[in-house]
A and B are shown apart, each in its own frame.
Chain A
Amino acid sequence: MHWIDYFRPATLEACLEAFAEHGASARALAGGTDLLVQMRAGRLANNVVVDVKAVPELNEIRYDPGNGLTLGAAVPCYRIYGDPTVRREYPALIDSVSMIGGTQIQGRASVGGNLCNASPSADAVPPLIALGATCRVASVAGEREIPVEDFCTAPGKNALGEREVLVSLNLPVPSPGSGACYLRFIPRNEMDIAVAGAGVSVRLANGRFDSGRVALAAVAATPLLVPEAGAALSGQPVGRAAIAAAAAAAKASARPISDMRGTAEYRSNLCEVLTRRALETAVERAGGTLG
């Protein structure tokens, strides 16, 4: 690896100043499971690494029954699935952080890093989109909020400006009667990259789907929100017919490529199956029955 300078700011202010000073030559280090690999491979030209793990705002898990979950961008997977409140309130997030890498990777890798890396196959992103999560982004010039579905802009590219940092993610309070799930397909049992993935959430009321959100992994240049699938659920009786319609909409929206992990046709078919199965689990988690 080429020479770098290493900073470990202890406050958000110092962190933002480091990015203001170094701009495009600086990269944030959380778990390093993507960053250090890419730097070693010579794919990044940065010469400054800002270790953001000592910044309190990037390192917190805080649940507030009024505002939902604030998840610091650098919090590693194992702290998320080790948190009883997150396990209870956001099982779809637990689905994804439990399947990223293996035990050692989960000891380092963060959801914020997974999002910033902007891989189309990122497992943490579809459940965040399904849950309606937003990104808190900050720079010395101020702060802004970005919906997670707008954060990834191309493979490996995100909406952050040169001087901006992803501080945290906000996941809204799950409303009564809601449930969510993330499923992916890999040809092995663990330690693999999604051929396709589906993150879904539903809200049930009086035997009907009040609303639904479906997001897909690895079938477009970025993680993909499928509004048509949500629309296929809204107002329909809770049951297999609405789920089948949403799954068909997911399949129709997928724009996959063929590569070593699977053909485009195979991925499209997976979208239908994964969306259907994830919706079935989400309904169950919401306390509904499919009849």
Chain B
Amino acid sequence: MQSIHVRTKINGQAAEFLCEPRQSLLEVLRDVLRLTGTKEGCNDGNCGACTVEMDGRIVPACLVLGAEAEGADILTIEGIAEGSALHELQNAFLEGAALQCGVCTPGFIVASKALLDSNPDPTEEEIRFWLANNLCRCTGYDKIVRSVQAAAEKMQQEATS
């Protein structure tokens, strides 16, 4: 029964940790590294609250073992803002009231950022399908979808101005 020493990169910084083989990346982020922005919802891959980006692809951190982070490049909600400057998605969620209890929000922001990184001008249908793995029990989704659209529009304006 040995712990595993894992070397990884989290939000652009080299990181290392010890974990038990059975611990998920979600448990490691929250309980070992104290990066508690990533939330635990269902813990079985349905709700998307624990969404993180791993090597450029969004995944449910509850379905990744901490040991699998060896050599990976991980982005969590803590790495979305640049210092005190919020990401346009974060601004848009605040202005659009796209959250109430907030538990699902980090997952939605990380997932939405990955969408806009690969598809800067998504249709509403593309946004809804992309975010189908993220559940929100408060907002009814419309405000979230509209906020992603608003952020996309703003980011495109900034890119062309």
Contacts and interface: CB of A to CB of B under 8 A. Distances in A.
A29 B65 contact: yes
Contact of B21 (A31, A49, A101, A105): A49
Nearest to B52: A104
Contact of B67 (A8, A40, A104, A189): A8
A163 B65 CA distance: 23
A191 B20 contact: no
Interface stretch (B54-62, B96-104, B140-148): B54-62
A257 B128 CA distance: 32
Contacts of A3: 1, 20-22
A6 interface: yes
Interface in B71-122: 111, 114
Given A32-B65, A101-B45, A190 B21 contact: no
Contacts of B22: 1-4
Most buried by A among B24, B44, B132: B132
A154 interface: no
Given A4-B22, A101-B133, A102-B48, A107 B58 contact: yes
B57 A51 contact: no
A5 interface: yes
Interface string B20-62: 1110100000000000000000011110100100100111101
A78 interface: yes
A104 B129 contact: no
Given A37-B45, A40-B43, A104 B59 contact: yes
Given A37-B44, A104-B48, A191-B132, A6 B57 contact: no
B133 A191 contact: yes
Contacts of B57: 78, 107
5 contacts: A8-B68, A40-B44, A102-B48, A107-B58, A191-B46
